[in-house]
Protein backbone atom coordinates (compact mmCIF):
# COMPACT_ATOMS: atom_id res chain seq x y z
CA UNK A 1 0.00 0.00 0.00
CA UNK A 2 2.85 2.38 0.78
CA UNK A 3 4.47 1.61 -2.57
CA UNK A 4 1.23 2.50 -4.39
CA UNK A 5 1.01 5.76 -2.43
CA UNK A 6 4.64 6.55 -3.24
CA UNK A 7 4.08 5.87 -6.95
CA UNK A 8 0.96 8.05 -6.86
CA UNK A 9 2.89 10.84 -5.11
CA UNK A 10 5.60 10.71 -7.81
CA UNK A 11 2.99 11.90 -10.31
CA UNK A 12 2.26 15.08 -8.32
CA UNK A 13 4.21 18.36 -8.40
CA UNK A 14 6.97 18.71 -5.82
CA UNK A 15 7.51 21.94 -3.92
CA UNK A 16 10.69 22.76 -2.04
CA UNK A 17 11.36 25.69 0.25
CA UNK A 18 14.75 26.52 1.62
CA UNK A 19 16.42 29.41 3.23
CA UNK A 20 19.41 30.68 5.07
CA UNK A 21 20.17 33.39 7.57
CA UNK A 22 23.65 34.63 8.32
CA UNK A 23 25.92 37.56 9.04
CA UNK A 24 28.29 39.10 6.54
CA UNK A 25 30.86 41.78 7.16
CA UNK A 26 34.31 42.68 5.98
CA UNK A 27 35.59 43.15 9.54
CA UNK A 28 34.69 41.74 12.93
CA UNK A 29 33.51 45.15 14.07
CA UNK A 30 31.09 45.28 11.18
CA UNK A 31 29.18 42.23 12.51
CA UNK A 32 27.44 44.46 15.08
CA UNK A 33 25.89 46.50 12.32
CA UNK A 34 22.29 45.57 11.40
CA UNK A 35 23.21 45.74 7.75
CA UNK A 36 25.44 42.71 8.23
CA UNK A 37 22.42 40.36 8.33
CA UNK A 38 22.00 38.41 5.13
CA UNK A 39 18.93 36.33 4.32
CA UNK A 40 18.07 34.15 1.42
CA UNK A 41 14.81 32.34 0.65
CA UNK A 42 14.60 29.86 -2.16
CA UNK A 43 11.55 28.17 -3.56
CA UNK A 44 11.42 25.56 -6.27
CA UNK A 45 8.78 23.46 -7.94
CA UNK A 46 9.15 20.48 -10.22
CA UNK A 47 6.33 18.97 -12.20
CA UNK A 48 6.61 15.70 -14.12
CA UNK A 49 5.15 16.77 -17.46
CA UNK A 50 6.61 14.64 -20.21
CA UNK A 51 7.36 11.26 -18.68
CA UNK A 52 5.67 9.27 -21.42
CA UNK A 53 3.15 7.77 -18.97
CA UNK A 54 5.89 6.20 -16.87
CA UNK A 55 4.40 7.54 -13.62
CA UNK A 56 0.96 6.13 -14.43
CA UNK A 57 2.53 2.82 -15.43
CA UNK A 58 4.45 2.75 -12.15
CA UNK A 59 1.20 3.33 -10.22
CA UNK A 60 -0.48 0.49 -12.13
CA UNK A 61 2.50 -1.79 -11.54
CA UNK A 62 2.45 -1.09 -7.80
CA UNK A 63 -1.32 -1.68 -7.73
CA UNK A 64 -0.75 -5.04 -9.45
CA UNK A 65 1.92 -5.95 -6.89
CA UNK A 66 -0.50 -5.00 -4.10
CA UNK A 67 -3.27 -7.12 -5.63
CA UNK A 68 -0.89 -10.09 -5.95
CA UNK A 69 0.23 -9.67 -2.35
CA UNK A 70 -3.38 -9.57 -1.16
CA UNK A 71 -4.22 -12.70 -3.17
CA UNK A 72 -1.21 -14.53 -1.73
CA UNK A 73 -2.20 -13.48 1.79
CA UNK A 74 -5.79 -14.65 1.29
CA UNK A 75 -4.59 -17.96 -0.14
CA UNK A 76 -2.24 -18.46 2.81
CA UNK A 77 -5.03 -17.64 5.24
CA UNK A 78 -7.44 -20.07 3.58
CA UNK A 79 -4.80 -22.80 3.57
CA UNK A 80 -4.13 -22.25 7.28
CA UNK A 81 -7.84 -22.37 8.10
CA UNK A 82 -8.21 -25.59 6.11
CA UNK A 83 -5.28 -27.16 7.98
CA UNK A 84 -6.87 -26.23 11.33
CA UNK A 85 -10.24 -27.58 10.24
CA UNK A 86 -8.70 -30.82 8.95
CA UNK A 87 -6.77 -31.29 12.20
CA UNK A 88 -9.91 -30.73 14.29
CA UNK A 89 -11.93 -33.19 12.21
CA UNK A 90 -9.17 -35.81 12.44
CA UNK A 91 -9.00 -35.38 16.22
CA UNK A 92 -12.75 -35.75 16.55
CA UNK A 93 -12.70 -38.90 14.42
CA UNK A 94 -9.77 -40.37 16.37
CA UNK A 95 -11.46 -39.64 19.72
CA UNK A 96 -14.56 -41.49 18.56
CA UNK A 97 -12.45 -44.43 17.36
CA UNK A 98 -10.58 -44.45 20.67
CA UNK A 99 -13.83 -44.62 22.60
CA UNK A 100 -14.91 -47.66 20.55
CA UNK A 101 -11.50 -49.33 20.85
CA UNK A 102 -11.49 -48.81 24.62
CA UNK A 103 -14.91 -50.46 24.81
CA UNK A 104 -13.61 -53.36 22.72
CA UNK A 105 -10.52 -53.67 24.94
CA UNK A 106 -12.73 -53.70 28.03
CA UNK A 107 -14.89 -56.43 26.50
CA UNK A 108 -11.76 -58.41 25.55
CA UNK A 109 -10.49 -58.06 29.12
CA UNK A 110 -13.78 -59.41 30.46
CA UNK A 111 -13.65 -62.29 27.96
CA UNK A 112 -10.07 -63.13 28.99
CA UNK A 113 -11.04 -63.18 32.67
CA UNK A 114 -14.06 -65.33 31.91
CA UNK A 115 -11.94 -67.75 29.85
CA UNK A 116 -9.39 -67.97 32.68
CA UNK A 117 -12.17 -68.74 35.21
CA UNK A 118 -13.69 -71.34 32.88
CA UNK A 119 -10.28 -72.91 32.35
CA UNK A 120 -9.79 -73.06 36.13
CA UNK A 121 -13.15 -74.81 36.39
CA UNK A 122 -12.20 -77.23 33.62
CA UNK A 123 -14.87 -76.02 31.21
CA UNK A 124 -12.54 -74.87 28.38
CA UNK A 125 -9.09 -75.84 27.18
CA UNK A 126 -6.01 -73.63 27.53
CA UNK A 127 -6.09 -72.80 23.82
CA UNK A 128 -9.27 -70.77 24.46
CA UNK A 129 -7.52 -68.83 27.24
CA UNK A 130 -4.59 -68.07 24.94
CA UNK A 131 -6.91 -66.93 22.15
CA UNK A 132 -8.80 -64.52 24.45
CA UNK A 133 -5.52 -63.13 25.80
CA UNK A 134 -4.24 -62.66 22.24
CA UNK A 135 -7.45 -60.76 21.41
CA UNK A 136 -7.02 -58.63 24.56
CA UNK A 137 -3.41 -57.78 23.69
CA UNK A 138 -4.42 -56.83 20.15
CA UNK A 139 -7.14 -54.52 21.46
CA UNK A 140 -4.76 -52.93 23.99
CA UNK A 141 -2.16 -52.45 21.26
CA UNK A 142 -4.76 -50.73 19.06
CA UNK A 143 -5.73 -48.42 21.94
CA UNK A 144 -2.09 -47.49 22.60
CA UNK A 145 -1.44 -46.89 18.90
CA UNK A 146 -4.49 -44.67 18.56
CA UNK A 147 -3.50 -42.71 21.67
CA UNK A 148 -0.15 -42.01 20.01
CA UNK A 149 -2.01 -40.91 16.87
CA UNK A 150 -4.14 -38.59 19.00
CA UNK A 151 -1.02 -37.01 20.47
CA UNK A 152 0.35 -36.47 16.97
CA UNK A 153 -3.00 -34.99 15.97
CA UNK A 154 -2.79 -32.49 18.82
CA UNK A 155 0.67 -31.47 17.63
CA UNK A 156 -0.64 -31.04 14.07
CA UNK A 157 -3.47 -28.87 15.39
CA UNK A 158 -1.12 -26.64 17.39
CA UNK A 159 1.19 -26.28 14.38
CA UNK A 160 -1.76 -25.47 12.11
CA UNK A 161 -2.84 -22.78 14.57
CA UNK A 162 0.57 -21.15 14.34
CA UNK A 163 2.55 -22.98 16.99
CA UNK A 164 6.10 -23.53 15.87
CA UNK A 165 8.46 -26.42 16.37
pLDDT in tens, 53-68: 777 888 888 889 999 9
Mean of per-residue pLDDT scores for the chain: 86
The DSSP line for the chain is -HHHHHHHHHTS-EEEEEEEEEE--SSSGGGGSGGGEEEEEEEEEE----STTHHHHHHHHHHHHHHHHHHHHHHHHHHHHHHHHHHHHHHHHHHHHHHHHHHHHHHHHHHHHHHHHHHHHTSS-HHHHHHHHHHHHHHHHHHHHHHHHHHHHHHHHHHHTT---
The whole-angstrom separation of Cα 63 and Cα 148 is 49
Mean pLDDT of 30-56: 69
Asked if the model's pLDDT at residue 112 lies above 80, the reply is: yes
Q: What is the pTM assigned to this prediction?
A: 0.59
Mean pLDDT of 71-93: 94
**Cβ–Cβ < 8 Å for 153, 90:** yes
Mean pLDDT of 158-165: 80
Residue 20: pLDDT band (50, 70, 90) is: confident
pLDDT > 70 in the chain, percent: 86
The whole-angstrom separation of Cα 65 and Cα 153 is 37
Helices 54-121 and 126-160: angle between axes, nearest 10 degrees: 160
Asked if the model's pLDDT at residue 39 lies above 70, the reply is: no
Amino acid sequence: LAAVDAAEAARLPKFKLGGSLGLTALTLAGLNNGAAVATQILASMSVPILDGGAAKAQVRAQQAVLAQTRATYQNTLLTALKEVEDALIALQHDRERLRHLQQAASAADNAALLAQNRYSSGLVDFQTVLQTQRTLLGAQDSVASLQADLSSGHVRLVKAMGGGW
